Amino acid sequence: MAEKAKFVGSIQHTEDTLQRLFKTEYRTYHQLQILSQLAAGFLMAALALTVEMSRPLQGVLLLAGCLIMVSGDLPASLRADKAADSRKGQLPKNVCTFFNSAMELSGEGAMRLEYSRFQRLVEDSGYLYLFLGRKSVCMIDKAAVTGGTAEELKDFVAQKTGLAWRRNRSFLSMNLADLRQAIRDRRAR
């Protein structure tokens, strides 16, 4: 007798969902890099405004500092654009079927994933992200969950994986605990 599915989650990818996916991966696994970039840009802008120097050099330093500060997840955006372009508009639909023993992913192929393989669980307002590692993630549209609510699916996955769900925070709202977690995550890689 086949095992009965507890939940089914899916996503029909669009260019917007690819952007969200790549940005979430980047913000999840590259927090220290983004913070360092933000600090370097701030330092450049601060130097341009406080240290006496020629106007052209001051303008270049200020412009460079501002560009560095605002381009935090630009690499992720570029990767998402490249992924969308390489598929020529043929974006996949992925289906995640959750059983008591494992999850099955289908779409452009099929694979069975043990819950112990997941490394991180991240959510935002519309999607759930189940990370197997850097550049390996299952994304689920919260509105497309069947077999229960998105909250029930989250509870089920958290119990099966032993992981807690996180929300990526704005870098301006990060606190010391978030910074320590980013350092621990970096060391774990």
* pLDDT by 10s per residue, the chain, length 189: 468 889 999 999 999 999 999 999 988 888 788 888 888 999 999 999 999 989 999 999 999 998 888 887 888 888 888 888 888 878 889 999 999 999 999 988 889 999 999 999 999 999 999 999 888 899 999 999 999 999 999 999 999 999 999 887 665 555 666 666 666 666 655
Nearest by Cα to 119 from 28, 40, 45: 28
Q: What is the pLDDT of residue 10?
A: 94
Q: What is the pLDDT of residue 152?
A: 96
Q: What is the pLDDT of residue 33?
A: 82
C-alpha–C-alpha distance, residues 22 and 79, integer Å: 7
Q: What is the pLDDT of residue 91?
A: 87
C-alpha–C-alpha distance, residues 183 and 165, integer Å: 18
| Pairing assessment for the beta strands 7-12 and 120-123 based on DSSP bridges | unpaired
Record the pTM. Answer: 0.82
Q: What is the pLDDT of residue 176?
A: 64
Phi, psi of 136, rounded to the nearest 5 degrees: -145, 105
